[in-house]
């Protein structure tokens, strides 16, 4: 009798909700991250907890700080569960066609969660638990890739910031890892993470989302079209629309207005995407030429379309510089970890992708600092504007800092 009941239960569950929950569409990492955000928000609400996260790189692990870290760490259970999954679809991606880019991006909550994770990773590394520490680091790196893969420049910037936390955590705690095999396993697991999106991929996603937004919302794009409490539609007139001047004057249909916007967006983004695929040293000149062609094309366009394109097109060269900087910093971290694992000299064994030799190495009191020849292309100070990156520099600590 028990065997029969067990068989019935197994059959029901095999074709029921539990089985369907295991389908790929339901295995969405964003749902796990959302639980992590919720747990995080419920436990991180004091000035001391925020101070701990803001100073995660240098804070001392006093008994009080360790107790506070222990109280906050339950959120990291769901960070790891999200990082176990490959598929990640954020609400912003599901709603972009109706709300536009960056209207609601819960991904911004990933940065403080990442700070908590790298703080715990640092604690674990310093406590002689490198496997557990690197597990936290890799979860943060996976989160960064999941955030950036949402598409668009805001997601890219958030993803970059999160990954840089993980990079600095490893570089700053390298002194604490004694086992070379643990370092090699970390590098192997790092290699298995999804690749970071390229500039061309980011621009492609942004183009497609903007066009979908216009096609879905029409001339109501960018406006609140939800009904009021009683169910009445929002009052609108032609002059209060994301539309061409001809439409606003009653000289064009809504479909005609939308087509002018989407045609211009497709043309300009598609040209920018092709430029983004060029070698880095060819992009600045190509973007300058694109700007001249764009100016001529927009001179014949509707005034509102022209404003949309002029204000909305991202700087391709600066984005590619950001991509190059991220790749270079990854190469720096890889060189630092690999040379320690193999017992080699960083000055001889590293390879700067933007020179014929190794990274520039400057000795410090606690280790060394790596710099790349790429920095010659990156403006600093007031000259760094419009999404330009900061220089590619990585400080590596090989001995414990003196308190």
Interval 34-45: pLDDT, tens: 999 999 887 777
Residues 98 and 172 in one domain: yes
Given 262, 280, 314, the domain boundary residue is 314
Residue 324 lies in a domain: no
Cα–Cα distance measured from residue 232 to residue 205, given in angstroms and rounded to the nearest whole number: 34
What pLDDT digit, counting tens, does each position of 148-186 carry?
987 788 888 999 999 999 999 999 999 999 999 999 999
Quick one: how far is CA 305 from the chain centroid?
Answer: 29
Residue 136 lies in a domain: yes
The pLDDT confidence band at residue 8, using thresholds 50, 70 and 90, is: very low
Confidence check: pLDDT of 24 > 80? no
Task: Tell me what pLDDT residue 403 has.
Answer: 61
Residues 131 and 47 in one domain: yes
Residue 1 lies in a domain: no
The answer to whether 207 and 269 are in contact (CB under 8 A) is yes
Residues 176 and 251 in one domain: no
- Taking alpha carbons only, the member of 329, 355, 352 closest to residue 161 is 329
Confidence check: pLDDT of 118 > 80? yes
Residues 155 and 75 in one domain: yes
Q: Among the listed ranges 102-106, 263-267, 392-396, which one has the minimum average pLDDT value?
A: 102-106
Q: What is the mean pLDDT of the chain?
A: 87
Confidence check: pLDDT of 188 > 50? yes
Task: Tell me what pLDDT residue 102 has.
Answer: 64
Task: Tell me what pLDDT residue 11 has.
Answer: 40
Task: Tell me what pLDDT residue 4 has.
Answer: 44
Q: How far from 90 is each of 166, 311, 389, CA to CA, in Å? A: 22, 26, 26
Burial of 1 (0-12, 13-18, 19+ CB in 10 A): exposed
Quick one: how far is CA 69 from the chain centroid?
Answer: 25
The pLDDT confidence band at residue 387, using thresholds 50, 70 and 90, is: low
Residues 211 and 274 in one domain: yes
Q: Among the listed ranges 12-16, 38-42, 383-387, which one has the minimum average pLDDT value?
A: 12-16
- Taking alpha carbons only, the member of 292, 286, 351, 350 closest to residue 320 is 286
Sign of CA dihedral 86, 92, 96, 101: negative
Residues 182 and 308 in one domain: no
Percent above pLDDT 70 for the chain: 89
Given 290, 314, 338, the domain boundary residue is 314
Q: How far from 255 is each of 141, 278, 306, CA to CA, in Å? A: 43, 35, 18
Confidence check: pLDDT of 21 > 60? no
Burial of 92 (0-12, 13-18, 19+ CB in 10 A): buried
Residues 167 and 298 in one domain: no
Residue 398 lies in a domain: no
Q: Highest mean pLDDT: which of 60-74, 88-102, 386-400?
A: 60-74
Residue 368 lies in a domain: no
What pLDDT digit, counting tens, does each position of 44-74 carry?
778 888 899 999 999 999 999 999 999 999 9
Q: List, in order, residues 6 or more apart from 158 with CB less than 8 Å away.
A: 105, 107, 108, 110, 111, 147, 148
Cα–Cα distance measured from residue 321 to residue 302, given in angstroms and rounded to the nearest whole number: 33
pLDDT: which is higher, 391 or 381: 391
Residues 174 and 271 in one domain: no
Residues 159 and 69 in one domain: yes
Given 293, 314, 335, the domain boundary residue is 314
The pLDDT confidence band at residue 15, using thresholds 50, 70 and 90, is: very low
Q: How far from 310 is each of 190, 290, 297, 334, CA to CA, in Å? A: 39, 12, 12, 40
Cα–Cα distance measured from residue 325 to residue 335, given in angstroms and rounded to the nearest whole number: 15
Structure tokens at 238: 């032609």
Residues 173 and 28 in one domain: yes
The answer to whether 341 and 183 are in contact (CB under 8 A) is yes
Query: 395: which strand partners?
Result: 369
Residues 64 and 97 in one domain: yes
- Taking alpha carbons only, the member of 81, 82, 77, 88 closest to residue 43 is 77
What pLDDT digit, counting tens, does each position of 124-139 carry?
999 999 999 999 999 9
Residue 170 lies in a domain: yes
Cα–Cα distance measured from residue 311 to residue 263, given in angstroms and rounded to the nearest whole number: 16
Task: Tell me what pLDDT residue 3 has.
Answer: 43
Percent above pLDDT 90 for the chain: 67
The pLDDT confidence band at residue 19, using thresholds 50, 70 and 90, is: very low
Residue 386 lies in a domain: no
pLDDT, average across residues 359-383: 86
What is the tally of structural domains in the chain? 2
What pLDDT digit, counting tens, does each position of 261-319 carry?
999 999 999 999 999 999 999 999 999 999 999 999 999 999 999 999 998 899 999 99
Residue 348 lies in a domain: no
What pLDDT digit, counting tens, does each position of 201-244 carry?
999 999 998 999 899 888 887 776 677 888 887 777 777 788 89
Confidence check: pLDDT of 344 > 80? yes
Residues 180 and 167 in one domain: yes
Q: What is the pTM of this model?
A: 0.88
Range of the domain at 283: 201-222+237-314
């Amino acid at each position: 009798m028990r065997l029969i009941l067990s068989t019935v239960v197994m059959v029901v569950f095999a074709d029921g909700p539990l089985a369907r929950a295991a389908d790929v569409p339901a295995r969405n990492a964003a749902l796990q991250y959302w639980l992590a955000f919720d747990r995080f928000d419920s436990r991180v609400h004091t000035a001391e907890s925020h101070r701990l996260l803001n100073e995660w790189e240098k804070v001392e692990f006093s008994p009080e700080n360790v107790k506070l870290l222990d109280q906050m760490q339950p959120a990291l259970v769901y960070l790891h569960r999200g990082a176990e999954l490959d598929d990640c679809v954020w609400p912003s991606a599901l709603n972009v066609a109706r709300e536009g880019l960056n209207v609601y991006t819960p991904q911004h909550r990933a940065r403080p969660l990442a700070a908590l994770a790298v703080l715990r990773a640092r604690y674990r590394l310093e406590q002689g638990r490198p496997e557990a520490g690197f597990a936290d680091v890799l979860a943060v790196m996976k989160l960064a890739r999941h955030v950036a893969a949402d598409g668009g420049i805001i997601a890219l910037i958030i993803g970059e910031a999160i990954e840089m936390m993980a990079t600095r955590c490893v570089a700053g705690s390298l002194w604490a890892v004694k086992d070379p095999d643990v370092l090699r396993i970390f590098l192997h697991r790092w290699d298995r993470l999804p690749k970071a999106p390229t500039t061309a991929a980011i621009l492609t996603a942004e183009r497609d989302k903007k066009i979908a937004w216009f096609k879905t919302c029409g001339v109501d794009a960018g406006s609140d079209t939800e009904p009021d409490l009683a169910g009445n539609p929002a009052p609108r007139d032609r002059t209060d629309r994301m539309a061409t001047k001809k439409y606003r004057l009653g000289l064009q249909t809504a479909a005609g207005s939308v087509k002018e916007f989407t045609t211009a967006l497709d043309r300009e983004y598609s040209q920018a995407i092709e430029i983004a695929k060029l070698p880095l040293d060819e992009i600045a000149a190509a973007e300058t030429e694109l700007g001249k062609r764009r100016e001529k094309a927009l001179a014949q366009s509707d005034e509102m379309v022209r404003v949309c394109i002029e204000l909305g097109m991202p700087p391709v060269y600066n984005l590619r510089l950001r991509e190059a900087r991220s790749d270079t910093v990854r190469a720096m971290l890889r060189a630092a970890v690999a040379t320690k694992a193999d017992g080699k000299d960083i000055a001889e064994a590293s390879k700067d992708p933007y020179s014929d030799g190794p990274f520039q190495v400057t000795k410090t009191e606690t280790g060394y600092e790596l710099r790349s020849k790429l920095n010659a292309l990156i403006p600093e100070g007031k000259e760094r504007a419009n999404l330009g990156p900061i220089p590619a520099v990585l400080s590596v600590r090989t001995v414990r800092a003196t308190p």
